[in-house]
Amino acid sequence: MSDRESLVGTIQEGLVRHLDEELVREGDAVLSTVQVDRRAAERAWKKVAVILMRTSPVKQFGIGFGIGWMSGYLFRKVSRTAAFFVGCTFLAAQGAYALGLINVDWMEIKRAARQNMKKVENRFSHMVGTDGTTTRSFVEKTVDFCNRNMYATSGFISGAVVAITF
């Protein structure tokens, strides 16, 4: 390898390292400005829920429909975009494999997948507990919210279905 190639490689490595450090600094700065006080968010959500419960059923349905439509529309756009990029990546990987540009050790992938599956199972079992109390309480909270805000919930579901299907 010549001195010129060595110099170019050193410059490229330094530039990549500098850019990585800069991205980390910018990401940390953004995250530090976006920190949310959990208690303040819960208080705001409770205020919104109380205001929503005091309005007429027609307004509740309309608000729920609008929020549901926006959520469904965003879900549809994001999922289409994500599916496109995942598909393109899959096709590029298959093409590279077919051309012999990459080699895949399928046994290593199976072993890594099994290990990761065990890690996920362990984390989930610690989150939920052996008797499933955490999951049950979440479901109970969701059902309780839906019962208290029936009009808004039905509007949200209707809006989401409309936005996703059309």
Q: Note whether 63 and 52 are within 8 A (CB).
A: yes
Structure confidence at residue 88 (pLDDT): 92
Range 130-157 average pLDDT: 77
Residue 162 pLDDT:
92
CA separation for the pair 143, 48 (Å, rounded): 18
Q: Which residues contact 70 (CB under 8 A, 6 or more apart)?
A: 159, 163
At how many degrees (to 10) do helices 133-148 and 106-128 cross? 70
What mean pLDDT comes out for the span 143-148?
Answer: 83
Q: What's the confidence (pLDDT) of residue 165? A: 86
For 34, list phi and psi in degrees, rounded to 5. -100, 5
Residue 135: its pLDDT value, please?
58
Decide: helix, strand or coil at residue 108. Answer: helix
Structure confidence at residue 148 (pLDDT)? 83
Percent of the chain with pLDDT over 90: 22
Output the average pLDDT for the chain. 78
Smallest Cα–Cα separation from 65: which of 57, 42, 54? 57
Coil, helix or strand at residue 122 = helix
The yes-or-no verdict on residue 47 having pLDDT over 90 is no
Cβ neighbors of 145 (< 8 A, separation 6 or more) are 153
d(CA 93, CA 101): 9
Per-residue pLDDT, averaged over 25-35, amounts to 57
**Mean predicted confidence (pLDDT) in 103-110:** 86
Torsion angle of alpha carbons 46, 50, 56, 58, nearest 10°? 10
Q: What is the DSSP letter of 130?
A: S
pLDDT digits (tens, 9 = 90+) for 49-72: 788 778 888 988 998 999 999 999
